Amino acid sequence: MKTFLAALFFIINLGSAYSQNIPLYVGTFTDEDSEGIYRYEFNTENGQITNETLAMSIESPNFLAYSPNRKFMYSVNRSSNSEKSDYVTAYKINNDGTLTLINMANSHGKSPCHIAVNESGTKVVVSNYNGGTVSLYNINNAGALSEATQVFDHNIDNEKSHAHSAQIFKNDLFVADLGRNAVYHYQLKNNQYELANPKIVDMPDNPGPRHFSISENGKFIYIINEYGSSINSVKKTKKGFKKIDFDTTLSDDYQGKNSCADIHLSNNERFLYGSNRGENSICVFKRNIRNGKIKKIQNISVHGNWPRNFTLDPSGKFLLAANRKSNNISVFKVNQKNGTLSFLHDIKSPTPVCLLF
């Protein structure tokens, strides 16, 4: 009887441990040791990352996005062949976690660096850094991408665009343009996006908007600035948008060079996180959920070099940073009461630049 109970206890615990593991996909640049998109198992109880596998061998899939139903995945890809166009790729996610190529489409710009899917899973938007263009695609029921339905070119004669990220929120499309120092606002009309405002707020001294995070109700946008090492907090009003806060991402005693990268709200939206490349840190802000203003409460080392991208796991208990130049992923425990981070451990990973749960 004791043997039976012991075996039953082992099986129950084994099943419990297995159920705690969720997939983590990592987008990379393949100009060093990486071969494409990698898949890991992430344990939502202890934060361990295990079981590295190559999910898809493909060239420089540097940013990834899921379809809402998690049946499909999309990436932007940079070609090492100067005569070949950069491209966007659609994949089917197999039962074993590997990926099967569905189709590819021209990105209509050089160095695509960001991709996002709308909440209905019917559209994809791609930001082309060196091309300065933003491309939109339709998605069919089988997950395949159409050819681009719209391409916006932000370049002008005396100013070069560097579109760095874009998000679709309901019928609005927002684009952070690092080169033009502006966040553009487009609105959907008759199934086509039209420019509503070439800059939602003024950004003095060219701080360089790179990425942004939108609150769930759409009332607040938090923009992280690559050049200025800062965050603009913006509120949507009846007349448009207004800046309500401006904060540095750096520690008071840091004097070196820095380039900000990524930004995310916590699941409960009480905290905001940003990444610093140079200081090599994650900055943590406490957020007033009523008026949207933020206050910096922590800067913590990423235990690596050049945190291009980071993410919070679905439970909100862990934050993971992808350190591109040191080839590692760092895991932090999130204090659920005050939002601060504590470093747990890291793993080696080839040129990680995008983390996707």
- Give residue-wise pLDDT tens across range 189-204: 999 999 999 999 999 9
Burial of 170 (0-12, 13-18, 19+ CB in 10 A): exposed
DSSP string over 322-357: EETTTTEEEEEEEPTTT--EEEEEEEE-SSEEEEE-
Q: Which helix (H) or strand (E) holds 166?
A: strand 163-169
CA-to-CA distance for 249 and 258, rounded, in angstroms? 10
Burial of 26 (0-12, 13-18, 19+ CB in 10 A): buried
- Give residue-wise pLDDT tens across range 124-140: 999 999 999 999 999 99
- Give residue-wise pLDDT tens across range 105-162: 999 999 999 999 999 999 999 999 999 999 999 999 999 999 999 999 999 999 999 9
- SS3 at position 308: strand
Whole-Å CA distances, 213 to 167, 200, 233: 9, 14, 10
Burial of 88 (0-12, 13-18, 19+ CB in 10 A): buried
% pLDDT > 70, the chain:
95
